[in-house]
Each structure stands twice: as C-alpha cells, then as structure tokens.
Structure 1
Amino acid sequence: MATNSTTKKPAAAAEESAEAVTETATARPARKPTPALEVVGPALRVGDEPVTVTLSHHHAIDGTAYPPGAEILVSPDYAHRLRSQGYVSRT
C-alpha cells in the first residue's frame, strides 16, 4: 500500500491560498450583432453580383454570429461553398 508523503496545510493557510486562487476570468469579447444586409465573407470578384442565401445552421463569419434562418449577401463562389458544406437551406 502506497502512502502519501505530502503534508496537510493548516486550515488557515488553506483558506488563504483558496482566496488567492479565486480570480474572475477575463470575459470573452462580445460578438458583433448581425448587421443589415451587406456582403459578408470573401470579397466579390469584378463583375459578380452578390447572392442572397438563407442559412440553415448557426454560422459565424468574420466574428459575427448568424443564427439559422438569417439571410446574408455573399459572393457566388462563397454561396457555392456554403451550399456544399450544408449551411444553406434548400428552400
């Protein structure tokens, strides 16, 4: 049978060390609110028109959270990528 070779701290010292360890964690930066319809994601190519897509799942683009059902404007290439990854609803 193995024995524990560490010594117990007195109750007063244990409370002091517990108080020293208790710190508030830094809060995460808040995500930006969903903006009005503007092109998000990769930039449009010259001559391309933005495409409106409706998201079927929660998705975060450039630090902005978009809930399911949100309509966003994206470049045609990015819309194709979102469709192939299952983020765009079929309707």
Structure 2
Amino acid sequence: MTTNTTKKTTAEADESAAAATDITEARPQRSARRTSDVVGPALGDGQQPETVTLSHHLRIDGTDYTPGAEITVSPDYARRLRGQGFTART
C-alpha cells in the first residue's frame, strides 16, 4: 500500500509555524469573572454573593468543606445547594 505524501520545505514549515503563532497571539485575553472569595460557579452579571452554612460534608473544586462551614457562593449555586439539602436550616 502506497501513500502519496509531500514533504514541506523548511521555508514552508517556518511559514506555517509563524501563522500558528500569529493565530494564538490574536486571541483576546479572558477576563476573570470569579472572585477569590466566591466558592463554586462564578457570579453572574449584577449578582451579589450569598453566605450559606453547610449541613453536610461537601467537596467543591478540590477543597473539602466540613459541616458547619460558612461559604460564600453565587445565588444560583446557593439555591441548588438548598434544593439538594446541603445547607443548614438557620
């Protein structure tokens, strides 16, 4: 079985490498929407963080939180935690 292949010359290889470099440099910088004190998903536009007290052990983003720990989360995430029974009734 034969395969038709063409070898790139060094000039063509340099041009394709330069083109790949130009593409990566043209990408815009991502802005960090997550603040360091908010645990879990990032806040949406115009949302204020909520503080919840956990009733069960919970692992979020590789960090363990014990029962009774108070964490600051987005309102959407707080609603999900309440619905799943992870927050204390206080």
Q: Which stretches of structure 1, 4 residues or more, deviate above 3 A after TM superposition?
A: none
Q: Which residue of 1 aligns with 2:81?
A: 82
Q: Aligned AA for 1:64?
A: T
Q: Which residue of 2 aligns with 1:25?
A: none
RMSD: 1.1
Give deviations 1:33-63, integer Å, cap 9, x for gaps.
xxxx810100000100000000000000000
Q: Aligned AA for 2:82?
A: R
CA distance, structure 2, for counterparts of residue 88 and residue 48 of structure 1: 20
Q: Find out whether 1:59 has 2:68 as its counterpart.
A: no
> Identity, % of aligned pairs?
69
For these two proteins, the number of residue pairs brought into alignment is 55
Q: Is there any run of 5+ residues in structure 1 with no aligned partner, and where? A: 1-36
* Greater per-residue helix proportion: 2
| 1:1-91 map, 5 Å | 38-91=37-90
Q: TM-score scaled by structure 1?
A: 0.59
